[in-house]
Amino acid sequence: METERRMVIAVFPDVDLLDVTGPAEVFALANRESGGRAGYRVELAAPAEGAVRTSAGVRLLADLTFRQVRGPLDTLLVPGAVEPGPDGPRARIDAEVVDWVRAAAPRARRVASVCVGAHLLAAAGLLDGRTATTHWSTAAQLAADHPAVTVDPDPIFVRSGRIWTGAGISACMDLALALVAEDHGEDLALAVARQLVMYLKRQGGQSQFSVPLSSPPTARRDIDALRLYVAEHLDADLSAAALAERMCLSERHFARVFRQETGDTPAAYVEAARVEAARRLLEGTDQPLDRVAAASGLGSVETLHRALRRRLGTTPAAYRRRFRTADA
């Protein structure tokens, strides 16, 4: 096993259940998919001993209290809680949680918030001068309460130095997968995403570390195997003729079967897979456009431009500016 990574998740009354269990499941699967080498150890920390009732009514049993969290942490993960307001839900700010986050954050290698947990980070002063995201329904509240924070309600997650903030609810999975990718590389993150059956496309144009299949499994295992082959060999010859030969079918019959099973032509599916790879590289790396085009199988910068304009209605540079997740 690599160096153990201590992942402490704050839990408190009415915390959103998925914001806690979603990341914990991602880290557990990362351990399993890596044969234990990922080294994640998840601990739940609560204000007091005993069960913690979540927003879903399910009770969680914390491993330790806030006062018992001593020593260095790899990651401090802060979910949130909401309460009804006159204009919709509002993030709940618990002073005890804020004080503990402020005190514990300096001992953590990185700090991440999930959903409205960004409000707790902001109240602790950790987001001043940074760009952050949160659930779209409380973004206006975050901006109004903390003018020193640049609030962007659209991205699934935002990284600013060692501070990460995630968008609402199920985006906690994307954030956790991004943390795994930072620690152990994208291959492990994608392996975990496959186990979670996370889909290729996310709302808002983002596509953080999702399974490289844009539709559910088909009725034919050979087509599913071919789709995995496409995802893992984007820089290979993926023409209809080459794929038909791999399937031992005539090109015409192969095209008909593939479209019947996936709803796409082989060419459209391959382009979508290559654009997805290009998007991940634009979001998560500073690689120049010619290397992005080559690594994603699109070949040239000109082809990269055409494919992104056709599928996303934007240019590579504009997409990178909008959805960049790592530090500028």
| Share above pLDDT 70 across residues of the chain, in percent, rounded to a whole number | 91
Query: Taking the CA of residue 96 as centre, how many other CA atoms within 13 Å lie in the half-sphere pointing to its CB?
Result: 11
What's the average model confidence in pLDDT over 223-232? 88
The predicted structure's pLDDT at residue 328: 40
**Structural contact between residues 12 and 81, judged by C-beta atoms closer than 8 angstroms:** yes
**Radius of gyration (C-alpha) of the chain in whole angstroms:** 21
**Structural contact between residues 20 and 54, judged by C-beta atoms closer than 8 angstroms:** yes
What's the average model confidence in pLDDT over 296-308? 95
**Structural contact between residues 97 and 10, judged by C-beta atoms closer than 8 angstroms:** yes
What's the average model confidence in pLDDT over 172-183? 90
- Per-residue pLDDT reduced to its tens digit, 77-127: 999 999 988 878 899 999 999 999 999 999 999 999 999 999 999 999 999
Enumerate residues 6+ apart whose C-beta is below 8 A from 136. 153, 154, 167, 168
The predicted structure's pLDDT at residue 217: 52
CA-closest candidate to residue 271, choices 242, 252, 296: 296
The predicted structure's pLDDT at residue 293: 96
**Structural contact between residues 62 and 44, judged by C-beta atoms closer than 8 angstroms:** yes
Looking at per-residue pLDDT, the higher value among 193 and 132 belongs to: 132
Q: Which amino acid type is present at position 112?
A: A
Across the strands, what pairs with 13?
none
Please state which CATH class domain 5-193 belongs to: alpha beta
What's the average model confidence in pLDDT over 21-39? 95
**What is the distance between the alpha carbons of residues 270 and 272, in angstroms, rounded to a whole number?**
5
pLDDT of residue 149 exceeding 60? yes
The predicted structure's pLDDT at residue 325: 58
Q: Which amino acid type is present at position 36?
A: G
The predicted structure's pLDDT at residue 261: 86
Domain boundaries, the chain: 5-193, 215-328
What's the average model confidence in pLDDT over 293-307? 95
Token pair in block for residue 159: 């990284």
pLDDT of residue 319 exceeding 50? yes
Q: Which residues are catalytic?
A: 115
pLDDT of residue 18 exceeding 70? yes
Average confidence score pLDDT of the chain: 88
Q: Does domain 215-328 sit in CATH 1.10.10.60?
A: yes
How many residues are given for the chain?
A: 328
Q: Please identify which residue in the block is written with the tokens 């002073």.
A: 95
**What is the distance between the alpha carbons of residues 90 and 210, in angstroms, rounded to a whole number?**
30
What's the average model confidence in pLDDT over 177-196? 88
Token pair in block for residue 266: 């082989």
pLDDT classification of 224: cutoffs 50, 70, 90: confident
Q: What is the dihedral of CA 131, 172, 207, 145, to 10 degrees?
A: -30
